[in-house]
C-alpha cells in the first residue's frame, strides 16, 4: 500500500511537471536493471546505504534517534582518508584492515559525542547528532582546503589514495562493483544476529520499548546508550571510508549525496529489520539512479526521487497505524 | 587578516545590528516551537516549516513583484507543513519524532524540486532587492543604540511584536493556561473540559506560522533570493534554543540573540579572511553557530532540574485510555 501510494504521488508530480509518468517509470526501471552495467551502479550505490542503514537499525531499535549518520559518515571518511594519505603502510593486507578500522573508530567517536552528551547531561540526541553533522562538514571542508589539499588540483580535494589502500572490484565478470559490497552483505546477517538473537540485542530492544522496565531488569541505560551510539557511528564511519577507498578514491566535499539521510529512510522502510535493509537499500539505490535517468531523458529534476522517498515514509507510518488498530 | 574589521570600534555597531537581524528568523521559529512544545507536542518539523515558508515567500514576492505578498505566502507555507504535522501527530497518532523528521526530508526535497523545476539548475537566479530598513524617526538617531535597534527591516519590528504576543498568549491568557495544562496533564485538562486535540492543533499551527515567518524574514528581509536548503539547519538550532530557554519564550529569544551574534561574528571573519587560499581556518568559524548551540544545550540540559519542560512532551493522548499519576 505504501509503495503504491508513494509511486502514485510521484506519478501525479510527474504529470504536474509535464512528463509522462508511465514513460518515466519505465525509463527508471530500464535504466537501473536494464544492463549489467546499470545493476553494477545500483549495487555500488547500495553499499553506503546498507552499511549506514544497519547502524541506524541498531540505534532506532533502542529508540535512540541518531540522525547524525551523515556527520559520522563524513568524519569516518575524513580520518580514514587522512590515514590512507599520510601513513605509509605498504602491505595491502595490513593497510586495508587498518584503514577500515580507523574509519570505523572515527565514526564511533563522532557517535560517542552524542551518546556522552545524552548520558552525562541528558542532551536530546536528535538535536546534538543533527547539529554535529554541520560541524563534521565544516571540519571536512577545512581539511580538504588546507592540510590535505592536492596542491595540483583546481578544486579543494585531496590527492588520490595510494594504490595499496584502494578496494578492488569483486571478481565477477559482468559486474563492476568494489568489494565494499561484500562487506555490506556480510554485515547484514551479522547485525541480524546481533539485533535479533544476541542477549545484547534483546536488552537493546527491551530498552527501546520501555526504558524503565529494562532498567528494572538490570539493563544499564548509560552503558547501553554509549554502546549503541558507538556501534551506529562506527558503521556510518565504516561506510564513509569504504566510499573513499572503493568509489571516490579521494576526499571531496561532495562525496556524499546525503547518504546519512537516505539511510534513515532505508532503516524505516526496512521496518528496522536487518534483512529488510538490503531490500530497502536496493529500492532506494535504484530510485536514486532512476532519478538520474529521468533527469537525462525526461528533463525532470532528479530530486523528485527524494520527494518520493519522504512520501513513502509517511505512507508507511499510516500503513503501520492501520495494522496496529 | 585584519581583526579590527571584525571587532574594531567602527565595526561594533554594524555587528550588533547584524546580530539582531540574523537572530530573528531562528528566534521566531524557536519562540513558536516553545509554544508548541508547551502543549506537549515535540515538533521536529521546524526546519521543514522554515524552508517551505522561505520558498513560498520567495515565490510570492518574485511573481507578484511585491515583497509584502511574500509575508502571507511564507506564513502559508509554514502552516502547510504545520497541517501535515498536526494530521500525523494528532489524527493518525504516528510516532511524532519520525513524522517530524520525515516532514523535514519531504520539505527539503519538495522545495528543491519546485525550485529546480521553476528556475532550472542555477542557484542564483531571480535575485531581488530585500526589504529596505525603516529608520524609526527620532529613535534611530540616538547614537549607538538607535542604529542597532531602530534601523531594521519592518519585518524585524513585526517579529518582535509577535514574539511578545506569544509570550502574552502563553502567560497571560486562558488559552495559554489551557496550552500548559494540556502539555503537563492532558488527562486532567481533558477532564476539565479542555479539548487536548484542538489545543494541540492550534499550538502546532502557531509553530508553523512563526517558522514560516522566519523563512520570510530570511528570504524577503535579508537575502532577496532562494537556494536549496537556504535555512541551513536554523530549524534545528531553534529546537535547541527551546531547551536552552527552558520553554520560556523570552529566554528562548535571548538564546536566539546569542546565536545571531555568533553568526554575525563568523560572517565577518569569513569576509575578512580573504577567500579560498586563506590560511585562516574560516570553516571552523562557520561551524561556530552550531558549536555554540550545542554548547548552550549541554549547559541548559546539565542543570539538574529541567524546570519548564512539559511533562507530557512527546506523548500522544488517547482520550479515555490513560489515567495519569
Mean pLDDT to the nearest integer, A278-301: 89
Place of cell 495494522: A323
Q: For residue A169, what are the β-bridge partners?
A: A178
Give the position of cell 513560498.
Answer: B56
CA nearest to B71, candidates B158, B161, B180, B198: B158
Average pLDDT over residues B225-231: 90
Task: Answer yes or no: do A317 and B236 touch at CB < 8 A.
Answer: no
Confidence of residue B324 (pLDDT cuts 50, 70, 90): very low
Whole-number pLDDT of residue B176: 96
* Residue A183: how many other CB atoms lie within 10 Å: 18
The whole-angstrom separation of Cα B49 and Cα B323 is 34
* Alpha helices (runs of H) in chain A, residue ranges in sequence order: 2-16, 21-33, 36-61, 69-86, 92-121, 125-145, 180-196, 199-209, 211-216, 221-243, 259-269, 274-298, 304-324
A309 contacts chain B (CB < 8 A): yes
Tally C-beta pairs within 8 A across A and B: 124
Q: Is B209 left (phi over 0), alpha (psi -120 to 50) or beta?
A: alpha
Q: Report d(CA A122, CA A74) in Å as an integer.
A: 25
Torsion of CA A208, A213, A217, A219, to 10 degrees: 40
Q: Tell me, what's the pLDDT at B13? A: 85
Most confident of A234-243, A254-263, B59-68, B311-320: A234-243
Q: Is pLDDT larger for residue A208 or for residue B4?
A: A208
pLDDT of residue A12: 86
Beta bridge partner(s), residue B152? B134
- The pLDDT confidence band at residue B323, using thresholds 50, 70 and 90, is very low
Contacts of B237 (CB under 8 A, 6+ apart): A131, B26, B30, B259, B289, B290, B293
Residue B325: predicted pLDDT:
37
How confident is residue A325, by pLDDT bands cut at 50, 70 and 90? low
Distance CA A177, CA A57 (A): 25
Query: Strand B151-152 to strand B134-135: parallel, antiparallel, or no bridges (unpaired)?
Result: antiparallel
Written as nine digits, the cell of A71 is 556527520
Chain A residues with beta carbon closer than 8 angstroms to that of B106? 307, 310-311, 314
| Lowest-pLDDT range of B119-128, B222-231, B269-278, B294-303 | B119-128
Considering chain A, what is the average pLDDT of its residues? 92
String of DSSP letters for B231-251: TTTHHHHHHHHHHHTTT-HHH
**Which DSSP string do the residues of A214-228 spell out, in sequence order?**
HHHTT--HHHHHHHH
Using 50, 70 and 90 to split pLDDT, how confident is the model at B58? Answer: very high
Cα radius of gyration rounded to whole Å, chain A:
20
Question: With an 8 Å Cβ cutoff, are B290 and A264 in contact?
Answer: no
pLDDT in tens, B236-292: 999 999 998 999 999 999 999 999 999 999 988 888 877 777 777 888 888 999 999
Domain ranges for chain A? 50-284
Cell numbers found for residue A93: 593486507
Nearest CB to B291 within list A135, A146, A306? A135
Rounded to a whole number of angstroms, the distance from the CA of B145 to the nearest CA of chain A is: 33
pLDDT averaged over every residue in chain B? 89
Three-state DSSP class for residue B283: helix
Closest residue of chain A to B288, computed from CA coordinates: A135
Is residue A247 within 8 Å of A177, Cβ to Cβ? Answer: no
Section A58-74 average pLDDT: 96
Greatest mean pLDDT range, A18-32, A97-111, B297-311: A97-111
Q: In this predicted model, which residue has the larger pLDDT, A151 or B82?
A: B82
End-to-end CA gap in chain A = 16
Backbone angles phi, psi at A222, to 5 degrees: -65, -50
CA distance B151 to chain A (A): 32
Percent above pLDDT 90 for chain B = 63
Helix axes A221-243, A199-209, angle to 10 degrees: 110
Which pLDDT tens digit goes with each residue over A1-38? 677 888 888 888 888 877 888 888 888 888 888 889 88
Q: B4-119+152-302 domain in CATH 3.40.50.280?
A: no
Q: What is the C-alpha to C-alpha distance for residues B302 and B305, in angstroms, rounded to an integer?
A: 8
Cα A169 from Cα A182, distance rounded (Å) = 10
Q: Do B301 and A307 touch (CB under 8 A)?
A: no
Interchain pair A130, B113: CB under 8 A:
no
A313 touches chain B (CB under 8 A): yes
CA distance B61 to chain A (A): 22
* Dist CA A304 CA A287 (whole Å): 10
Contact B294 A306 (CB under 8 A): no
Q: Which residue of B has its CA nearest to A116?
A: B298
Written in H, E and C, the secondary structure of B137-156 is: CCHHHCCCHHHHHHEECHHH
Q: Which chain A positions have a beta carbon within 8 Å of B103's beta carbon?
A: 310, 314
Give just the sign of the alpha carbon dihedral A313, A319, A321, A323.
negative
Among A107-116, A172-181, B78-87, B153-162, the range scoring the smallest mean pLDDT is A172-181
- Residue keyed to cell 580514514: A80
Contact check, Cβ <8 Å, B294/A132:
yes
Question: Do A317 and B301 count as a contact with CB atoms less than 8 A apart?
Answer: no
pLDDT at B297 over 60: yes
CB-CB contact of A266 with A135 (8 Å):
no
Q: What is the pLDDT of residues B110-163, one digit of tens each?
A: 999 999 888 876 655 578 888 888 888 878 778 777 777 888 889 999 999 999
Mean pLDDT (whole number) for B194-223: 96
Q: At which residue does the C-alpha cell 504529470 appear? A: A15
B117 vs A17, A145, A264: nearest CB: A17
Helix orientation angle between B249-273 and B154-172, rounded to the nearest 10 degrees: 150
Greatest Cα-to-Cα distance within chain A, rounded to the nearest angstrom = 62
State whether A264 and B97 contact (CB < 8 Å): no
Asked if A17 is an interface residue toward chain B (Cβ–Cβ < 8 A), one would say yes
Taking CB atoms and an 8 Å cutoff, what residues of chain B touch A61?
A: none
Q: Give the percent of chain A with pLDDT over 70.
A: 98
Task: Tell me whether residues B298 and A156 touch, CB distance under 8 A.
Answer: no
Structure confidence at residue B108 (pLDDT):
95
Amino acid at each position: 500500500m505504501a509503495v503504491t501510494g508513494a509511486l502514485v504521488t510521484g506519478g501525479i508530480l510527474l504529470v504536474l511537471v509535464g512528463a509522462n509518468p508511465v514513460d518515466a517509470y519505465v525509463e527508471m526501471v530500464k535504466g537501473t536493471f536494464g544492463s549489467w552495467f546499470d545493476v553494477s551502479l545500483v549495487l555500488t550505490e547500495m553499499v553506503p546505504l546498507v552499511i549506514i542503514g544497519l547502524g541506524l537499525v541498531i540505534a532506532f531499535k533502542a529508540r535512540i534517534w541518531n540522525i547524525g549518520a551523515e556527520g559520522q559518515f563524513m568524519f569516518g571518511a575524513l580520518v580514514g582518508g587522512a590515514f590512507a594519505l599520510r601513513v605509509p603502510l605498504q602491505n595491502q593486507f595490513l593497510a586495508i584492515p587498518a584503514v577500515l578500522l580507523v574509519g570505523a573508530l572515527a565514526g564511533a567517536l563522532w557517535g560517542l559525542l552524542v551518546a556522552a552528551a545524552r548520558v552525562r547531561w541528558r542532551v536530546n540526541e536528535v538535536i546534538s547528532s543533527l547539529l554535529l553533522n554541520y560541524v563534521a562538514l565544516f571540519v571536512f571542508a577545512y581539511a580538504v582546503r588546507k592540510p590535505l589539499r592536492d596542491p595540483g588540483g583546481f578544486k579543494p580535494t585531496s590527492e588520490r589514495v595510494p594504490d595499496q589502500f584502494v578496494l578492488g572490484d569483486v571478481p565477477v565478470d559482468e559486474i563492476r562493483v568494489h568489494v565494499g559490497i561484500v562487506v555490506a552483505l556480510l554485515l547484514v546477517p551479522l547485525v541480524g544476529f546481533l539485533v535479533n538473537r544476541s542477549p545484547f540485542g534483546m536488552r537493546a530492544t527491551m530498552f527501546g520499548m520501555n526504558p524503565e522496565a529494562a532498567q528494572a531488569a538490570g539493563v544499564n541505560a548509560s552503558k547501553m546508550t554509549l554502546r549503541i551510539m558507538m556501534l551506529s557511528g562506527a558503521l556510518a564511519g565504516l561506510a564513509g571510508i569504504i566510499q573513499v577507498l572503493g568509489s571516490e578514491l579521494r576526499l571531496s566535499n561532495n562525496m556524499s549525496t546525503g547518504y546519512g539521510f537516505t539511510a534513515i529512510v532505508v532503516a524505516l522502510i526496512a521496518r528496522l529489520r536487518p534483512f529488510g535493509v538490503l531490500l530497502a537499500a536496493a529500492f532506494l539505490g535504484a530510485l536514486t539512479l532512476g532519478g538520474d535517468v529521468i533527469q537525462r531523458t525526461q528533463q525532470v529534476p532528479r530530486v523528485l526521487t527524494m520527494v518520493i522517498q519522504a512520501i513513502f515514509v509517511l505512507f508507511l507510518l499510516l500503513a503501520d497505524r492501520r495494522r496496529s488498530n | 587578516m585584519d581583526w579590527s574589521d571584525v571587532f574594531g570600534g567602527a565595526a561594533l555597531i554594524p555587528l550588533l545590528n547584524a546580530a539582531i537581524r540574523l537572530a530573528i528568523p531562528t528566534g521566531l521559529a524557536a519562540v513558536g516551537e516553545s509554544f508548541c512544545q508547551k502543549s506537549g507536542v515535540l515538533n521536529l518539523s521546524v526546519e521543514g516549516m522554515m524552508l517551505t515558508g522561505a520558498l513560498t515567500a520567495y515565490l510570492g514576492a518574485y511573481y507578484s513583484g511585491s515583497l509584502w505578498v511574500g509575508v502571507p505566502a511564507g506564513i502559508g507555507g509554514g502552516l502547510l507543513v504545520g497541517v501535515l504535522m498536526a494530521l500525523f501527530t494528532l489524527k493518525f497518532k504516528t510516532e511524532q519524532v519520525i513524522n517530524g523528521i520525515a516532514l523535514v526530508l519531504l520539505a527539503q526535497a519538495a522545495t528543491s524540486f519546485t525550485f529546480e523545476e521553476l528556475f532550472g539548475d542555477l542557484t542564483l537566479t531571480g535575485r531581488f532587492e530585500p526589504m529596505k530598513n525603516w529608520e524609526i524617526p527620532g529613535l534611530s538617531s540616538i547614537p549607538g543604540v538607535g542604529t542597532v535597534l531602530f534601523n531594521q527591516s519592518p519585518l524585524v519590528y513585526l517579529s518582535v511584536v509577535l514574539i511578545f504576543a506569544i509570550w502574552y498568549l502563553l502567560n497571560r491568557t486562558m488559552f495559554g493556561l489551557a496550552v500548559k495544562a494540556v502539555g503537563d496533564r492532558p488527562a486532567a485538562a481533558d477532564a476539565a473540559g479542555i479539548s487536548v486535540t484542538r489545543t494541540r492543533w492550534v499550538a502546532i499551527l502557531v509553530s508553523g506560522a512563526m517558522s514560516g515567518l522566519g523563512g520570510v524574514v530570511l528570504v524577503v528581509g535579508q537575502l532577496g533570493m532562494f537556494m536549496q536548503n537556504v535555512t541551513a539547519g536554523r530549524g534545528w538550532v531553534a529546537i535547541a534554543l527551546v531547551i536552552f530557554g527552558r520553554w520560556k519564550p523570552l529566554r528562548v529569544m535571548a538564546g536566539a540573540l546569542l546565536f545571531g551574534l555568533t553568526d554575525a561574528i563568523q560572517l565577518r571573519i569569513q569576509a575578512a579572511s580573504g577567500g579560498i587560499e586563506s590560511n585562516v581556518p574560516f570553516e571552523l568559524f562557520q561551524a561556530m553557530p552550531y558549536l555554540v548551540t550545542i554548547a548552550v544545550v549541554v549547559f541548559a540540559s546539565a542543570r539538574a532540574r529541567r524546570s519548564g519542560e512539559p511533562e507530557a512532551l512527546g506523548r500522544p493522548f488517547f482520550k479515555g485510555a490513560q489515567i495519569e499519576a
